[in-house]
Amino acid sequence: MRMGERTVGAVTSVARHHELGPIALALLRRAVPAGEQLTVEITEVDEATGETIAVGRVDAAQELLVSPEGRAQASPAERPGAGLRKGLRL
């Protein structure tokens, strides 16, 4: 995944949706703004040299599944079991 010329993530899974067409799941850096224009670089491995070669780019849009803060909307205010640790101090 690229933001301009900078690599900001990697595609982990791809599929073809019956209405949306090609879709992919990617892992992006937290610093990537939610509305930023992204591209996916298509690569192939050159059998003669074993090098990875870029053969094209495809525009991509993002839909957030996890907030950039890394917390779920249903996160508790305090970690479960936090009260148990107080009794274990020596």
Q: Structural domain boundaries of the chain?
A: 2-66
Q: Hunting for tokens 């993002």 — which residue is that?
A: 62
Under 8 Å CB-to-CB from 3, ≥6 apart: which residues? 32, 36, 37, 38
Its pTM stands at 0.64
Residue 90: pLDDT above 60? no
Q: Residue 75: which pLDDT band, with cuts at 50, 70 and 90?
A: confident
Cα separation, 32 vs 49, in Å, equals 34
Per-residue tokens: 46: 């050159």
What band does 8 get if pLDDT is binned at 50, 70 and 90? very high
Q: How confident is the model at residue 55 (pLDDT cuts 50, 70, 90)?
A: very high
User: Coil, strand, or helix at residue 85?
Assistant: helix
Instruction: Grade residue 87 by pLDDT with cuts at 50, 70 and 90.
Output: low
Cβ-contact 39, 56 below 8 angstroms? no
Q: What Rg do the C-alpha atoms of the chain give, in angstroms?
A: 20
